[in-house]
A and B are shown apart, each in its own frame.
Chain A
Amino acid sequence: MYATLEGLRRFDIPHKFEVVSIISLYAQWIREGRLKVDPAWNTEGLKFSVQDPCKLVRQSLGDPVADDLRFVIKSVVGEENFIDVWPNKSNNYCCGGGGGALQAGFVDNRRQHGKTKFDQLQDTGADVVITPCHNCHTQVKDICDHFGGKWQTTHLWGWIVKALQR
């Protein structure tokens, strides 16, 4: 998201389209009633937390997209089943997987970076951590395995389909 948005801006690249995040669209479609979701499937009260991707939130669209992200998750899993992290939104910590860290090697350094994120997510006690970014997904899953966490690391879209009403 950031690479495209900031790239278009910094290099003044002509284009005829607007760049939007799928997260903002999910939220918009749920509000408009075009995407009908029902959290009734979550009968066991599975608890969810989230990672705010730096490139999407702090560096691109700010707190509004982080609020949209929470609105979508709550709509899909039930408001009472969402546990937020602290700090969060634009002030959240990086997971340590982005910026090319996953590609660069330096595995021990990458995990040391991720320890802050691990502690933060571990404190929520959530069963599931939603990571709407692939670098975050890979890193959050890796630090969970490495530091002995028990949560499941997933994308968002699978849960939306689980709650989907057609």
Chain B
Amino acid sequence: MSALDTLLTAEPRVAAAGADLLIDSLGAQAVPVERVEWRPPLPGTENSLATVVADPRRAEANRQALDRMLASTSELVDVRPARDALGLQPGELLHAGPPLTWDRASGPMRGALIGAMIFEGLADSPDSAEAKLAAGAGITLTPCHERGAVGPMAGVVSPSMWMFELRDEANDGTSWCSLNEGLGKVLRYGAYSDDVIERLRWMSAVLGPLLQAAVRRRGRIDIKAIVAQMVQMGDEGHNRNRAGTLMLLRELLPDLIECGAPSSQVAEVTRFVSGNDHFFLNLVMPTGKLQTAAGAGIAGSTVVTTMARNGTDFGIQVSGTGDEWFTAPADTPDGLFLGSFGPDDANPDIGDSAVCETMGIGGFAMAAAPAIVRFVGGSVPLALHTSRLMYEITLAENPAYAYPILDFRGAPTGIDVTLVARTGVLPQINTGMAGKVAGTGQVGAGLVKPPAACFTAALDALAARTPGPAADSPSPPKSVV
């Protein structure tokens, strides 16, 4: 009863929500009042919110999810082809976002799949690739997330593509991500021209093997430590990965030089990596996947474990509902365009890279990356406001990723479906924009939010899985099988 004992003996300090007039009158009595900027919850969520918020399992389940997420580590342990790393068979293609069929695939997703077919030798022209993908015989499309992998933009992975392999020893997790091709006309933005395919071949022939040799020679590289440093060096880990890329190169270079490869190839690899400020994104993303996967599958937990887009749909997954996807049509980002491209050229939101925001960086770390805000069409005050606002929909702060500008506050971590529904505040995502016509490539970068419907659907599913009031007694959380 200690909270109650002090209630009658100490001067009250009040947290208040609701009618301003009544709260004003508390203030008029010279009482310290912290006022909530209250809004009605997302329409139609009242009943599910009441059920889920009152679920006695929730607090402990979320605590457990967050403990695991914050404890998660991330080390680069190997680089190898997807056929070895993930056991991908010929004709098996992975893609970004929630499940998708060819007929619903957007332009850039189709372009990337076409490119992968050509790259794998499954088709000799874009037309034949398209025909085979449409027919579907011998082809399977699977979300990266379902295989523990993540892919930026279209996120297409085929058996011959080389993958970073990362381990979370604290939670015994493994995740994979392809090697980043650079900016502009690249497969992940839906381009499949000869130069794109040629680059992919070089990446499999030279880049992958050299990175493998260097990593194996050097031993594990602590990627989490690099992420922690990059967010203090002006990177937010999604649209700006410049410091991260350089730090990775610093770790790899001696062993790259000594791995026995011809110096011309070492130079090519070094030039390629240092010339691509986004190279490290493909290591941030699996680090995020390791962290969020660690919190997945805990019954009663309302923590978002996946946010991903396939160019058609935005999908989320939530800890308490396991691997069930909650999808809604993806929005189109709002931002700045390259060259003569404009809003009409942009495809709806695409890519698994929203794993950055799911882990608490990217758009959530905009305050830490003032240099990025103009690139995505924002301003520094907006960046500060956005990062601070994200704490209102997250359950924890990650001390591993601390933001100096926010007085070293930890990254806002663990998006809570109930907080999103209650506040109507949606996660802020920084993202690249793909051209909507297959083969175009990147057209810009900007800001986007998930559709609210993903969160309301997830909330309803959580409510449906909440035991009735009869079971309203403390019970230990159980893992979802």
The answer on A and B forming one complex is no
